[in-house]
Amino acid sequence: MSTPSTSTARLALATCSELPELDGPDQELRAALAERGVPTDVVVWDDPTIDWATYGHVLIRSTWDYTSRPQQFADWTQRVERTGVLLNPAQVVGWNLDKTYLRDLEQRGLPIVPTIWLDPERHLDARGIHTRFPAFGDFVIKPTVSAGSRDTGRYDASVTQERALAITHTKNLLGVGRHVMVQRYLSQVDTVGETALVYVDGQFSHAVRKGALLEGPYRADETKGVLYREEKMAFREASVAERELADRVVAELADVFPELGGPLLYTRVDLIPNDDGNPVILEVELIEPSLFFEHAAGSAERFAEALIARL
Ligand SMILES: Nc1ncnc2c1ncn2[C@@H]1O[C@H](COP(=O)(O)OP(=O)(O)O)[C@@H](O)[C@H]1O
Ligand SMILES: [Mg+2]
């Protein structure tokens, strides 16, 4: 069946069923696109009634419920690309779905939050898990596939009950085949905070400060059914060291994806200071990052123009 060329030019903003109208900042983006003569459909990524061939371009936005079924999401990205352009592309989504991409960045000489990686295939017993935790200080347990701080907990290594809770948390994740990351809690996140740097077409756009998010051990009831943990954000002027590191990440990504022949439409680099105060990479968000347009005047318009140039 042939589709009329006018309809293949449509642009979809992909979201999840819990946010059928997108979140507020992305509504700002939608308005900026409309003002520039580009209408959009807001579409739920796993809605079985959608004919994706209708869309020439699909921009991933608030698809935050995919982490419980990453394979279904990856399949969806492939399906969209059979008939249209996905932003960011499926290949990039596939790489970025699992935080093991941090190992690639580390091998490329970039500083990441020091991490011990636990593989479910090793069938570690409680003792094997215990010996991989730090001997003192606070530490973090999180799965390699996650977003919005879900399934993530913070533990005090010197408190016996907390070590026991951390072992249970880790075992539960490994038991369902998930890969687990063990990190020291970098406590400057409590004072300096986390910095998210947003790049559009490989150019720095704006940065925000995110307050610390982890208060204690993982509690299943706390984030169950919750899309993301409440975040306290504010505009921030990125430091020179943060800009330098995030610029290096962006440059390195061009090398990770040479086939793309240019920068990604959007990149968000999240940094926290290590104990020496030097920024290290917490994560690089290339799938569905909040882009924090509400904290930087003109950023939604800038993004809209970069997107329109690609249509
Ligand atoms: N090693 C760490 N030290 C301090 N805080 C951390 C650490 N790892 C995670 N956090 C906190 O947990 C939040 C979520 O972790 P993150 O790695 O960004 O995963 P995601 O956002 O994908 O769920 C961070 O924003 C930060 O507040
Ligand atoms: Mg994060």
Query: How big, in percent rounded to 5, are the helix, strand and coil portions of the chain?
Result: 40, 25, 40
In this model, does residue 1 exceed pLDDT 80?
Answer: no
The verdict on the CB of residue 112 being under 6 Å from ligand 1 is: no
Residues 174-222 have pLDDT tens digits of 999 999 999 999 999 999 999 999 999 999 999 999 999 998 899 887 6
Closest ligand to Cα 147 = 1
158: which 2 tokens?
Answer: 């010197």
CA distance 45 to 33: 20
In this prediction, residue 228 has a pLDDT band, given cuts at 50, 70 and 90, of confident
CA separation for the pair 129, 211 (Å, rounded) = 29
pLDDT averaged over every residue in the chain: 94
Alpha-carbon distances of 59 from 91, 145, 193, 207, 211, rounded to whole Å? 14, 21, 29, 21, 28
Q: How confident is the model at residue 3 (pLDDT cuts 50, 70, 90)?
A: very low
Pocket test for ligand 1, best of 113, 138, 214 (most atoms within 8 A of CB): 214
Cα–Cα distance measured from residue 50 to residue 55, given in angstroms and rounded to the nearest whole number:
10
| Rounded distance from Cα 147 to ligand 2 centre (Å) | 6
| pLDDT, tens digit, 9 for 90 and up, residues 157-177 | 999 999 999 999 999 999 999
Which atom from ligand 1 is nearest to the alpha carbon of 184? Answer: 1
- Show Cβ contacts of residue 138 under 8 Å, excluding neighbours closer than 6 positions: 154, 155, 156, 157, 184, 185, 187
Question: Is this structure's pTM higher than 0.75?
Answer: yes
Q: Which domains does the chain carry? A: 5-95 (3.40.50.20), 98-111+187-294 (3.30.470.20), 115-184 (3.30.1490)
Q: What's the CA-to-centroid distance between 128 and ligand 1, angstroms?
A: 24
Query: Which structure tokens are listed for 145?
Result: 């596939």
Please report the pLDDT score of residue 265 as a whole number.
98
